[in-house]
Amino acid sequence: MLLRIDHVGVACHNLEEKIEFYESVFGLTVVSREVNEEQGVREAMLHVADGDQGASYVQLLEPLHPDTAVGRFLAKRGEGVHHIGYGVADVTRALEEIGAKGVRLIDERPRHGSMGASIAFLHPKDVGGVLTELVETSRR
Ligand code: V0V
Ligand code: CO
């Protein structure tokens, strides 16, 4: 069901500073920047590699407000890995299959994600403490 790791989401206080860090230390390139009001984030995707099933990225996340998912995470845990996003062929179908196994779905239906993807989150408490995102890449 999981095709690949699409991205690793990293929470940070200052997006521009972290972009500069990943560019200068790892030589990564920003391929997309977006403000996602629904998710409460300003985010950037940095391309890591291409594979048979698609590309993989680091997603840097800065909260739009303290009272958001990433804002609360930063207050509680500080900067670091926030979630893992796995590529799936069909996010609606994956949600049905995973939900039927008793894993709590944060999103019952897909939301808008970075670069036109359809995304949905699974509750970290049911995935061994890992906030898990399903990503169906845009066909465009
Ligand atoms: C919170 N918890 C986490 C966690 N965030 N555990 C692992 N990884 C995380 N990232 C734990 C937290 O320590 C608490 O456990 C418990 O979950 C409840 O957390 P809370 O502090 O009450 O925080 P809430 O109210 O923010 O709820 C947590 C969830 C929330 C995961 C339900 O953050 C959420 O709905 N996240 C999904 C949306 C999201 O993260 N969007 C930002 C990325 P204890 O302390 O009680 O044991 S947007 C994105 O990736 C996009 C757009 C994209 O890829 O395209
Ligand atoms: Co993400």
Would you state the pLDDT for residue 63? 98
Whether residue 124 has its Cβ less than 6 Å from ligand 1: yes
Whether residue 58 has its Cβ less than 6 Å from ligand 1: no
Strands 54-63 and 41-51: antiparallel
Smallest Cα–Cα separation from 61: which of 53, 72, 50? 72
Range of the domain at 82: 4-136
Report CA(45)–ligand 1 centroid distance (Å).
19
Would you state the pLDDT for residue 45? 98
For every residue of 13-46, which 3-state class applies, written as one string? Answer: CCHHHHHHHHHHHHCCEEEEEEEECCCCEEEEEE
Residues 87, 136: Cα–Cα separation, whole Å: 6
Q: Please give the number of the atom of ligand 1 that sits closest to the Cα of 9.
A: 50
Q: What ipTM was estimated for this complex?
A: 0.98
Residues 76, 35: Cα–Cα separation, whole Å: 23
| Sequence-separated (6 or more) residues with CB below 8 Å from residue 2 | 86, 87, 88
Count up the domains in the chain and report the number: 1
Residue 50 exposed, middle or buried by CB count within 10 Å (0-12, 13-18, 19+): exposed
Mutate to test the pocket of ligand 1, among 34, 83, 107 (most ligand atoms within 8 A of CB): 83
Mutate to test the pocket of ligand 1, among 103, 121, 135, 136 (most ligand atoms within 8 A of CB): 121
Would you state the pLDDT for residue 139? 73
Residues 52, 2: Cα–Cα separation, whole Å: 13
Would you state the pLDDT for residue 140? 55
Among protein residues, the one whose CA lies closest to atom 27 of ligand 1: 69
Other C-beta atoms lying within 10 Å of the C-beta of residue 118? 19
Tally the C-alpha atoms within 13 A of residue 16's C-alpha that lie toward its C-beta.
Answer: 0
Sites in the chain below the pLDDT cut of 70: 140
- CATH number where 92 lies: 3.10.180.10
